[in-house]
Structure 1
Amino acid sequence: MSNIGLIIEERAANIGNFLVGRLLPFREKRAVGPFVFIDHMGPAALNDFQNLDVAPHPHIGLSTLTYLLEGSIQHKDSLGNDIEIKPGAVNWMTAGKGVVHSERTPEYLRKTDKKLHGFQIWVGLPKELEQSEPTFHHTEASGIPQWEVDGLQYKLIAGDLFGRKSTVPVHSKLFFLEIKNTKAERINIGSELFGEVGMYILEGSVQIENNTYSSRQLLIAKNARLCEFEMAENSTVFLFGGEPFEEERFIFWNFVNSDREIIEKAKKNWHEQNHDAFPLVPGDTDEYVPLPKNLLNSKLSR
């Protein structure tokens, strides 16, 4: 009997002026551990007149994790942070009761050809932190644990695993791990994993119980403890997951929370541009992403 409970194909989604591959949420699987949303950006080649421009937009009840493989993004937020995200670094922003941020191509790259490739991830917060004060933490690539065993290259982007701990300040028991290889290898790390686990195949392929799975597929395991697979040569996979929350998390547009009423209040505050609830982003105040009209009067449902 296969340990793969679900196979999710990457699905195209438009985030404004940029096409991404959506992995989570999925109709049959809304979350994996505390991970409630994952977009795979690119790889995209942008011409000198093409730029990423995601105007200021709000979040509540989650932490955002931005991890780039290629390219650069300028992050600005309502806490006053203004920082360039480069490959290998991690931006971890905890929205709590409310934060606003923008993501754009840095000014010095806006008139040149460039590439963009990476992940945008939302991680739900424990119930007691959903209304906490927003915070922000940037970890340079040099601060992410990396090691090699038997030709396999590991990078612990966030969480705890293998007796190692990433410096990204997560709020629940989780892991986000990158594994790369150059030659075919069999891997059995089920004894290290916990909770729910998903595997995203970025490059190459993996074989599990005589079945081969290729790139741009997300595999959801039935049992993390049975995580054993063979990576074909020159493959890259990401393992992520952890302990799920007891309470259901609702997602409505950019808002995540275990309480529907808090989401309804956030909708109203953003639509009315209540800057007490959602402050302006210093240095990026000329525009914002409005609440979509089709969502204005719609109620959150399961």
Structure 2
Amino acid sequence: MSDAVRPIVWSGDHLRLLDQRELPARETWVECRSAADVAAAIHGMAVRGAPAIGISAAYGLALDALMGRDYDHAERVLAESRPTAVNLRWALDRMRRLPDHGASALLAEAQAIHVEDLQQNLLMGELGAALLPLKGARVLTHCNTGALATGGHGTALGVIRTAWQQGRIAQVYNTETRPWLQGARLTAWELMREGIPTKLIADGAAAHLMSREKIDWVIVGADRIAANGDTANKIGTYALAIAAKHHGAKFMVVAPSGTFDPSCPDGAHIPIEERTSIELTEYQGRALAPAGMQTWNPVFDVTPAALIDAIVSERGVSLPGEAVRG
């Protein structure tokens, strides 16, 4: 099942990225032949999800090395593409530490990062699924944290995939995830491809759902985890954590160790990316708000550690009161 969706494909001399802006209507691919191409795909949301961004950035460095371009310039272009996802910086730092910045060495390391991410996701799937009831679990997830956001299988959605395989899941609810609708377009697409029972809800319906139906776990990913366990994730995650705490649902964050940022003391120090107003005022070229409408468009928020019941990485499970395993 982990091979069902592979959004990142190395094709010998270029990188192919499944264009997530076009899903679920059509499956098209973006061909990248330079670090600048990869950076544009990351910034433009053709590829998204913290692990997938890191993997793609590593391949971007290899692409420029293959063409004999300047390494430092390639790294700067990639680093500026998305500021919140720490996996991007983690991958670039790992590539820089290589003693050889030749094309062969960079490509081999990018491929290693890609393979390791899939292996980590499979392990996190097992660790996270073990926290769910043995059967009949009802879970809620936000944004897209599946194979599309990673090297394969997924982080939070990987836990759901594994739990479904183990017979633990009775029902999944997934939010639409405004304004890019990653939940409606991508998570629904992945879950339906694999026959996992899911229902799509509006973002604003989550608290009402929890008041009417028992939700065992809210399971989400993370783009950065601070040293104290505060986590940054797609906007709307914080509200889900508050609702979960009030209604007695447990809250799980699933992310690989590359998402942990020990240099960041707490959530107040996590940089939050703000994007263009057009993402709120238009959709696919169609106006949703009056012309000239001012907006505030942060695309991440911070969930305090006190609202989190478990943080799952490939290194283990951190429970409340324990040191974060990052």
The TM-score with structure 2 as length reference comes to 0.26
| Higher-helix-fraction structure | 2
Q: Which has the higher contact order (CA 8 A, sep 6+)?
A: 1
| Higher-strand-fraction structure | 1
